[in-house]
């Protein structure tokens, strides 16, 4: 009997220590334990520094981003200041169309005089009409040529326009031509 008791005791200890599934009975599912996080102590002999996570490189960083021009209020203030400086120096006043962007101008018509072709240009932000000739400078470009159509109804005005782009931290200037056909007057305030 003592031997049987010893064998049972040893079997129970073996089951308890080894965790044998056959002797333990029906298996119960236990939630998986999260792996323990490594201690942050450099005194721990098993401590490993975590590898740095690489910073993702922005794939769009090489794409050009348009740089906006100043708003019309600021351009108007700059124009008024340059007009006062010109008066003080006795120079001719700058052309007021010089404070508008090419994109803010509409062509209302073209005309011909003894000196050459001209165009009626409307500045949309202020609803002001200007009479211009080739070579007239605007804020981000200049009027290059004026083309007439049959009976001056299909005229076009060609502008050279400057556009600024930023690529990474550098600015880049791009000059292109913009052709504007005769359009009706804009009634926006």
pLDDT-derived band of residue 24, with 50, 70 and 90 as boundaries? very low
Give 125-134 pLDDT, tens digit per residue: 999 999 999 9
What's the chain's average pLDDT? Answer: 80
Q: CA 170, CA 61: separation in Å to the nearest integer? A: 11
Q: What is the mean pLDDT of residues 41-62?
A: 71
Specify the CATH architecture of the domain 66-181: Roll (2.30)
Contacts for 86 with CB less than 8 Å, ≥ 6 apart: 92, 93, 94
pLDDT band at 103 (very low <50, low <70, confident <90, very high): very high
Distance from C-alpha of 48 to C-alpha of 40, rounded to nearest angstrom: 9
| Structural domain boundaries in the chain | 66-181
Least confident of 56-60, 79-83, 145-149, 151-155: 56-60
Higher pLDDT, 135 or 16: 135
Mean pLDDT of 93-120: 92
pLDDT on residue 148: 83
pLDDT over 70 (residue 139): yes
The answer to whether the pTM exceeds 0.85 is no
Q: How confident is the model at residue 47 (pLDDT cuts 50, 70, 90)?
A: confident
Q: What share of the chain is helix, strand, coil (3-state, %, to 5)?
A: 30, 30, 40
Distance (Å, whole) CA 144 – CA 43: 76
- Tell me: pLDDT of 48 over 90: no
Q: How far is CA 117 from the centre of its chain?
A: 39
């Amino acid at each position: 009997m003592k031997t049987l008791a010893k064998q049972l005791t040893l079997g129970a200890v073996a089951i308890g220590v080894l965790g044998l599934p056959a002797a333990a009975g029906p298996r119960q599912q236990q939630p998986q334990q999260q792996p323990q996080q490594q201690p942050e102590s450099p005194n721990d002999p098993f401590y490993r520094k975590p590898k740095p996570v690489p910073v993702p490189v922005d794939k769009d960083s090489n794409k050009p981003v348009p740089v906006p021009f100043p708003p019309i209020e600021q351009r108007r203030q700059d124009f008024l200041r340059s007009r006062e400086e010109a008066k003080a120096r006795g120079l001719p006043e700058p052309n007021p169309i010089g404070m508008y962007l090419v994109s803010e101008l509409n062509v209302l018509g073209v005309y011909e005089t003894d000196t050459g072709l001209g165009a009626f240009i409307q500045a949309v932000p202020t609803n002001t009409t200007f009479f211009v000739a080739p070579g007239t400078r605007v804020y981000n470009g200049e009027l290059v040529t004026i083309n007439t159509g049959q009976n001056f109804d299909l005229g076009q005005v060609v502008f050279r326009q400057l556009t600024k782009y930023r690529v990474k931290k550098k600015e880049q200037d791009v000059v292109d031509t913009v052709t504007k056909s005769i359009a009706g007057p804009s009634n926006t305030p």
